[in-house]
Structure 1
């Protein structure tokens, strides 16, 4: 049995492990945005497929029997390509996306639907903590007044705000460390994507305890997929039913 996992997430790595243990031939595809990613077991390919047509061709040439979309919830382009390729080939597609974070008691969320809207809201604050990755930092580059503390896994290359401080670090992050980061940098707002999961959830807890508002960018609409899972084990259950 052959599976393609569109991964780059902890959930994708766990699915690869579980399927490999069951004797599957697993190929995990990573976007390649991080120079030293955590690699799953099995075969790994780096880079895109060339859109839906390229992915369709690759699936047929490789004899893939199931596709698992375990990408980041904000990787809408590859999710759309996967849905189109699945329809074109008839190969079952399972969408594995971790549950979104839910607002808790005491949270001061400012919910926005785009990064541009987040940038507009951020101008109201003096010391902004950005934990949105590297790809969309340019949205904040035109604010000459406020200080932006930017945390990324690797140094960003996009245009940055004139007043900024870059911290390169990879999660998971501890609650007390997150609180110390916010207090030490006089953070008065946190900007993040609603990616869900536990790896970086401590920043939300820290903001809650410190009374710091959170500009929360909501997830983009993803393709409607018949087979949906929220955990790696649910993926295995769905595969058994195919």
Structure 2
């Protein structure tokens, strides 16, 4: 596979760099300190840049590296860096994934949440007692507004020369500097707070990787209040484990194509497996409606409104840098779906280049059956999409099946079919009952039932399905 760039300086970034080394994936890692560099493994496949890059320096570095993938594993609070990374990747057309930490619960009377370091410092300035700061040196200046901060504040920082110099420049020195690498256990946090006689512990909402829960538990055990600077809101991304899966799929050089059934299209219709796959994709193919809905799960992916196999394959040939994408289909991939056509085309032209995975969805048949509270296992099903349907032949199936399910096409399709059923009633001296499902799963979903003649004069939407049965006693 091609080169990967990782913006790190976090435990997640370090773990992903170590993963690349183990898997033999060439990678370049950006960290902001010598200490961060010292924690990374040495390998001919791994290069490390130790510098806080400006926006201009970052784009020049990315141009030089020419990565296939950029992994943003920067700290949850590094919102400026994340903004630069996104902007530059969009500009250069490089796929980017954001690795985020699972947020922790902030419930508890002994926890105070502040929106910024400045707000946290202002709060502490009005309190009495010693303070253990665990927020690093970047924002240490904010806490110099606290009266007698040189005596009240104890800074727990990384054991690097840069960290020590920062503390000393602010007159934080001697036993007020605790240079240690975390995360720390509950007992270690408790012991440290007790030893210092601290009434407050200040922390970022750093998730499990930052030892947040252990800080809270340790502070509670020591009788100290926790002052939390809440992380920036509305951050989207994937977990460290999901990032490893993406890297693994790229390792063997094969490109991956998901064929995904998205269900009926309404809220909650898409399966968790489908959502996970879409979040990994650089490009999404499908009809306008299906692709638009799928793109909500992958906002950084390109949306190509194509569903014909030849056009999809042509686009992929013209975009070799796209290594992970999805073709999406309404309903289920195995029920009157275009997925089979794409699979056949891939089989003919693949040459081993693409790995495929089919992810099923909720079909219109199973959905309508559920809404009608009926079983569909013995139902005869058919579709009028792009084909002529003989209504008489369909009704013949009711001799051996409890019902007929029919996908329709176009606004007038249901009316025409119901008129044909009414004619067959007169010929066969048999009564039928028709159920219609329109815009299934959407807010304007409508399900109706009636005799064919009654239904023939009603108005229906373009998206409709029929369920046909004999009347009781027929």
Q: TM-score category by the smaller chain?
A: 0.7 to 0.9
Does the CA contact (< 8 Å) of 2:9 and 2:36 recur in 1?
A: no
Q: CA deviation at 1:184?
A: 1.7
Q: Secondary structure at the match of 2:208?
A: coil
> Residue 8 of structure 1 corresponds to which residue in structure 2?
9
> Residue 80 of structure 1 corresponds to which residue in structure 2?
83
What's the TM-score once normalised by structure 2's chain length? 0.46
User: 1:12-51 counterparts in 2 under 5 A?
Assistant: 12-32=13-33, 34=35, 37-41=38-42, 42-51=46-55
Distance 1:176 1:191, change over 3 A: same
With 31-40 and 202-211 compared, the bigger mean Cα shift is at: 31-40
Aligned partner of 1:148 among 133, 145, 153: 153
User: 1:77-116 counterparts in 2 under 5 A?
Assistant: 77-104=80-107, 106=108, 108-116=110-118
- Structure 2 unaligned segments of length 5 or more: list them: 250-280, 282-323, 325-474
Aligned counterparts of 2:70 and 2:143: Cα–Cα separation in 1: 36
Counting matched residue pairs gives: 236
Does the CA contact (< 8 Å) of 2:134 and 2:203 recur in 1?
A: yes
Does the CA contact (< 8 Å) of 1:191 and 1:216 recur in 2?
A: yes
- Structure 1 unaligned segments of length 5 or more: list them: none
What's the TM-score once normalised by structure 1's chain length? 0.86
Query: Residues 50-76 of structure 1, C-alpha deviation per residue, up to 9 Å, x if partnerless?
Result: 31x332232222221100011111122
With 70-79 and 87-96 compared, the bigger mean Cα shift is at: 70-79
Aligned counterparts of 1:219 and 1:160: Cα–Cα separation in 2: 28
Structure showing greater radius of gyration is 2
Distance 1:67 1:128, change over 3 A: same
Q: CA deviation at 1:230?
A: 1.7
Does the CA contact (< 8 Å) of 1:188 and 1:212 recur in 2?
A: yes
Q: CA deviation at 1:135?
A: 1.4
Higher helix share: 2
With 28-37 and 128-137 compared, the bigger mean Cα shift is at: 28-37
Q: Secondary structure at the match of 1:132?
A: coil
Does the CA contact (< 8 Å) of 2:124 and 2:146 recur in 1?
A: no
